[in-house]
Amino acid sequence: MFDFKSAKKRVDEAINPTHMFYSEIFSDLSKNNVYIKPENLQKTGSFKLRGAYNKISKMDEESKSVGIVTASAGNHAQGVAFSANHQGIKAIVCMPETTPMIKVDGTLKYGAEVDLHGQTFDETNTYAQQLAKEKGYTFIPPYDDEDVIEGQGTIALEILESLQEADYILVPIGGGGLVSGIAKCAKEMKPEIKIVGVEPANAASMQAAMEKGGPITLDSADTIADGTAVARVGDITYEICKENVDEYISVTEEEIMVALTTLMEKHKLVAEPSGALSLAASKKLGCKNKNVVCVISGGNIDMSFISQLIHKGLYEDGRIARFTVELQNAPGKLRDLLDVIAYTKANIVEVLHDSLAATSRYKNIQVEITLETNGKDHIRKIKELLTEKGYNIH
């Protein structure tokens, strides 16, 4: 059913080689030998190019002459646009009317036509499939398609050619196309290898499918990892995962943010939240001293969102602390408080102090303080010292 080696020859016409590298920091955190497969450095910024290019390459010439259509507001849109442009094929990408212009422009620059239609993705997807029937275009699915899955599986070929000793491959799951391709290909090459699918805890649709015996639609898929916020996995991807994925791990929003900030700080690499799922999960593997490959699935993230993620990630990692202290409304009391904090070697980022907010000069006021700290143990010591000095902390 799948010929991954032939798919590799096809996609090699378009992709960048993404070279794996050893991560000392994530190895230390997980007690394993962690290697990173950085598909965030791929052309178009994600793995999606592989599946789209393979699918389009396998079309017959008559179908290519008519054109293709898809529905997406994310990485799949750009993968399809690039692939079609590379092969000289007309491409129409349907997007919801609410799609941010940065994503529209990102697709237009690869040569596709963008058709904004519908308020939700389901409306847009239905419209795109109707367009395919009316105009004779070939519809390019984002994940639940054998040719797309085959293209994504070429990542496993590269992993095992580079690291034959790999024991585990950790893969993010949205609709299941990436993990299906990698799992199927890796198991053919090395049956004993363990494939671990990773999902946001708030959008664990593949695990829900496994529990229910088939794909179901989640009531909600609300997560910062928007690239994997899929409420229902594919039928084809479910069947492949059922036979080839060994384990599933869920990661919290906080764990995703910490993984993102660690990746940026230690490796100078930017990933989108979905891309960091495997790294977040690497600390939760129940093994030690194994060769673990983490696939970073993509790096397309809005610049305005990066600062928010960094701040939240540092907060969860104990690098930033924020708390409120009750303070007597009298001259010199704020200075006394800041002297105590200075003694702890914490760096003060912000102090919100409004003495006029007190309803009486005899009542305490509340001072909100934001600090740069050296970890959760440092925060604990700061609070202990403040409590010892008689301050009430909220």
The answer for residues whose C-beta is within 8 angstroms of residue 303's C-beta and 6 or more apart is: none
Length of the chain: 394
CB 288 within 8 A of CB 318: no
Q: Coil, strand or helix: which one is 127?
A: helix
CB 129 within 8 A of CB 139: yes
Which residue type occupies 34? V
| Cα separation, 21 vs 28, whole angstroms | 15
Q: Coil, strand or helix: which one is 326?
A: strand
User: Using a CB cutoff of 8 Å and minimum separation of 24, what contacts does 359-364 make?
Assistant: 361/329, 362/329, 363/329, 364/326, 364/327, 364/328, 364/329, 364/392
Q: Is 162 a catalytic residue?
A: no
Tokens coding 223: 């997560």
The answer for residues whose C-beta is within 8 angstroms of residue 205's C-beta and 6 or more apart is: 173, 199, 215, 216, 218, 221, 230, 231, 232, 233
The overall longest dimension of the chain from CA atoms, in Å, is 85
| Cα separation, 1 vs 147, whole angstroms | 10
348: number of Cβ within 10 Å: 12
Q: Is 27 a catalytic residue?
A: no
| H/E segment holding residue 352 | strand 347-353
Which of the following is catalytic: 48, 55, 187, 312? 48
For residue 175, give Cα distances in angstroms to 149, 238, 261, 321, 354.
11, 9, 25, 36, 50
Which residue type occupies 28? D
Residue numbers annotated as active site? 48, 297
